[in-house]
Amino acid sequence: MAADAKVFFYLFFLALSCGVFSQERDPLERVFKKGHTNNWAVLVCTSRFWFNYRHVANVLSVYRSVKRLGIPDSHIILMTADDMACNARNPQPGTVYNNVNQHINLYGDDVEVDYRGYDVTVENFIRVLTGRLPDSAPRSKRLLSDERSNILVYMTGHGGDGFLKFQDAEEVTSVELADAFEQMWQKQRYHELFLMVDTCQAYSMASRLYSPNLLAVGSSLVGEDSLSHHDDPSIGVHVIDRYTYYVLQFLEKVRPDSEATIGDLFRYTKPSLVISTPRARTDLFTRNVDKTLVTDFFGSVHNVELTNISSNVEPAHDQTDRYERN
């Protein structure tokens, strides 16, 4: 009886190894499935002028967080409409802080700004997203994503119902943003995309989205302001917005191997803290936000793609004898 059982289990495992019980012909397809293999971030501050210092601090804070969690500068497009670090009103040139204690200089020594000043326009922003930049644009200014890229798009500045201002001179509308994301989807420029907007009436920027695999959150509802958190008397302006402040507070507890989810982030940034009503749009997103890791967008993955393509490699000549003779 025992011998029969051993024979049965031997034949069973042999059948499994040969793929008898699998409908897939290629076992490698069962090991690695097409999906998310790389991360990108497009971080945009659209405000100029000293009194909008907090918006620059917002975007530099998110920049610092995604770099800490593993996204390299080569996969980050950073757009800042003003250079607060070099503003004549800055009592500490070369610095930007997001806290009155000034314990972290967000500008630091390793900030790579890809678009600054008057280069931060609606046209350039849309061109970056859709990949319609001129041939003369260097790789560092391009979003070189593909159909396996997860992309974080973070935007901060002054907004209204269905629009976000760029430098008080022009606006990007919710319709234009939605159409740009659709172009990205049609051109296979993302696998999943997470839009985070911290402006007044921010959720309105998500109202016209219609493309697949999009997740969006706004810091405030239509008709609501998005408020600043605190000021720094030494520089005379507010240094960070409330929503971004609490997003960063959450991210500071996240490590590259963290199991924290996007759902956890949404619950953490509650109205009683933010003093506005953050709202998420999840109907276009295929996954459960409570099973979607924060690091799927704010971190970086390095998956290895398996293939069954083989090639012949010529063995290297053994140099041992020659070295010994020398």
Nearest Cα neighbor of 228 from 56, 103, 78 is 56
Angle at 287 between CA 145 and CA 208, to 5 degrees: 70
Alpha-carbon span 40 to 62, nearest angstrom: 13
- Give 38's strand partners: 149
Q: Residue 282 corresponds to which amino acid?
A: T
Task: Report the Cα 134 to chain-centroid distance in Å.
Answer: 24
Alpha-carbon span 172 to 175, nearest angstrom: 8
- Known catalytic residues are 158, 200
Mind spelling out the 3-state secondary structure of the chain? CHHHHHHHHHHHHHHHHCCCCCCCCCHHHHHCCCCCCEEEEEEEECCCCHHHHHHHHHHHHHHHHHHHCCCCHHHEEEEECCCHHHCCCCCCCCCCCCCCCCCCCCCCCCCCCCEEHHHCCHHHHHHHHHCCCCCCCCHHHCCCCCCCEEEEEEEECCEECCEEEECCCEEEEHHHHHHHHHHHHHCCCCCEEEEEEECCCHHHHHCCCCCCCEEEEECCCCCCCCCEEEEECCCCEEEEEHHHHHHHHHHCCCCCCCCCEHHHHHHHCCHHHHCCCCEEECCCCCCCHHHCECHHHHCCCCCCCCCCCCCCCCCCCCCHHHHHHC
